[in-house]
Amino acid sequence: MTDNDFAVRVRGLVKRYPDKVAVAGVDLDIHHGEVFALLGPNGAGKTTTLRAVCGMVRTAGRVAFRGRDLTGLATEKIARLGIAHVPEGRGTFGGLTVAENLRLGAYGRKDGVQQDLDFWYGTFPRLAERREQPAGSLSGGEQQMLAVARALMCRPALLLLDEPSLGLAPMVVREVFAVLREIRAGQGTGMLVVEQNAALALELADTAHVLEAGRTVLAGPAAEIRAEDSVRRAYLGS
């Protein structure tokens, strides 16, 4: 298998901070169109790994996207190659309207922007109803939907989602994950998801890795990870 056979291939990822090794040699193989979940306790290195894929964190080791080495590329360049990032805390512009936020997601693209807007308003009817409202006035769940829709406006091949459930009520979390499943089924968009809610992440994912102290301690198909006793005890509460 070569890098071209994968959406993302990570080899020997290491991130050292002065007082801490955040990631201590992580390898990932993410297939085209698959949903890949990174699980693990606080401080395990999940967010750092995700940020390395979109160039937000400089690391040792190698990250390739569809066969292309991303080493040294700026985040904007990586975004243009087809990786969209939905950061923890969402990163929408509160003073801009929903529609303005979504148009920003199209990244200066002129063609097909209105069609894409109409399409995503169809998927996210609550955003359609609130299109002229400032993003800052939306509920937490609506802001998360907006962050996802904005990322999709750049037609990514891969969506990076950092804790999409964070701070949301359980019912809203289920709604967000239902939309992610819909997007995955409809668009075939690949996803790398960092998530504390292991049960939901494992329902959505094809493959999962469990990180602890910067290393992968468990890797495999999501169904197998879900059945692991250690995962059930630590993350699934059963």
Stretch that binds ligand ATP, among 6-14, 25-33, 41-49, 119-127 (CB under 6 A): 41-49
Name which of 45 and 156 has its Cβ closer to ligand ATP.
45
Q: Is 47 in the site for ligand ATP (CB under 6 A)?
A: yes
Nearest distance in Å: CB 161, ligand ATP? 12
The neighbouring-strand residues paired with 161 are: 86, 193
Q: Is 87 in the site for ligand ATP (CB under 6 A)?
A: no
Name which of residues 154 to 193 contact ligand ATP (CB under 6 A): none
- Identify the residue among 43, 91, 134, 220 touching ligand ATP (CB under 6 A): 43
Least distance between ligand ATP and beta carbon 14 (Å): 12
- Are 102 and 149 spatial neighbours (Cβ–Cβ below 8 Å)? yes
- Least distance between ligand ATP and beta carbon 197 (Å): 11
Provide DSSP, the chain: --GGG-SEEEEEEEEEETTEEEEEEEEEEE-TT-EEEEE-STTSSHHHHHHHHTTSS--EEEEEETTEE-TT--HHHHHHHTEEEE-TT----TTSBHHHHHHHHTTT--TTHHHHHHHHHHH-HHHHHTTTSBGGGS-HHHHHHHHHHHHHTT--SEEEEE-TTTT--HHHHHHHHHHHHHHHHHH--EEEEE-S-HHHHHHH-SEEEEEETTEEEEEEEHHHHHH-HHHIIIII--
Q: If binding is defined by CB under 6 A, does position 58 make contact with ligand ATP? A: no
- Under the binding rule (CB under 6 A), the answer on residue 20 touching ligand ATP is yes
Among 8, 45, 168, 209, binds ligand ATP (CB under 6 A): 45
* Near ligand ATP by CB under 6 A: residue from 8, 48, 121, 146: 48
- Here the tokens at position 120 are 């995503």
- Our CB check for ligand ATP shows the closer of 14 and 96 to be 14
CB of 216 to ligand ATP, least distance (A): 12
Q: Count of residues binding ligand ATP (CB under 6 A)?
A: 11
* Binding piece for ligand ATP, criterion CB under 6 A, among 37-45, 77-85, 170-178, 202-210: 37-45
Residues that bind ligand ATP (CB under 6 A): 17, 20, 22, 40, 42-48
